[in-house]
Amino acid sequence: MTNEQVEATKSAQGRRARRRGRDFERAVAKYLGGELVPLSGALGGKWSGDVTLTIGGQTYQIQTKRTKALTTQRRWLQHDGSDILVQANPREPVRKALVVMELETFRRLINCIQPEMPLEAP
């Protein structure tokens, strides 16, 4: 394989990865009733993140990542039927902990604040 062929293959793989990322961003925005951020947050500031979602009058920026690397978190959630996982670095304050849950659980929490949000998947 020539250098040009290798570069063409890498370029095609990069385009596919970006397309899959954009497709996932669109799916999350549609599922949650949010809006896509122009240029996937590359502008920064109020345009950070991939999706914006307003809940109870507060707007949140959502960063989306589609990865296979969540097997440990998923296993912890499924271990005893937990709905939400809180994970923290032991050297950081508890308020800096991360919350992991299935998107459907997140939608149900939002629905408690905004009952007009449909619970059926689009």
Contact in structure between 51 and 37 (CB atoms under 8 Å): yes
| pTM for the whole structure | 0.75
Question: Where residue 106 falls among pLDDT bands split at 50, 70, 90?
Answer: very high
pLDDT in tens, 4-59: 665 666 677 888 888 898 999 999 999 999 999 887 666 666 667 899 999 988 89
Question: Where residue 119 falls among pLDDT bands split at 50, 70, 90?
Answer: low
Mean pLDDT, residues 88-104: 94
Q: What is the pLDDT of residue 120?
A: 55
pLDDT of 78 strictly over 90: no
* Domain chopping of the chain, boundaries: 1-65, 67-122
Q: What is the pLDDT of residue 118?
A: 60
Contact in structure between 59 and 45 (CB atoms under 8 Å): no
Question: Where residue 87 falls among pLDDT bands split at 50, 70, 90?
Answer: very high
Which string of DSSP letters, residue by residue, matches 34-76?
-EEPGGGGTTBTTB-SSEEEEETTEEEEE-----STTHHHHHH
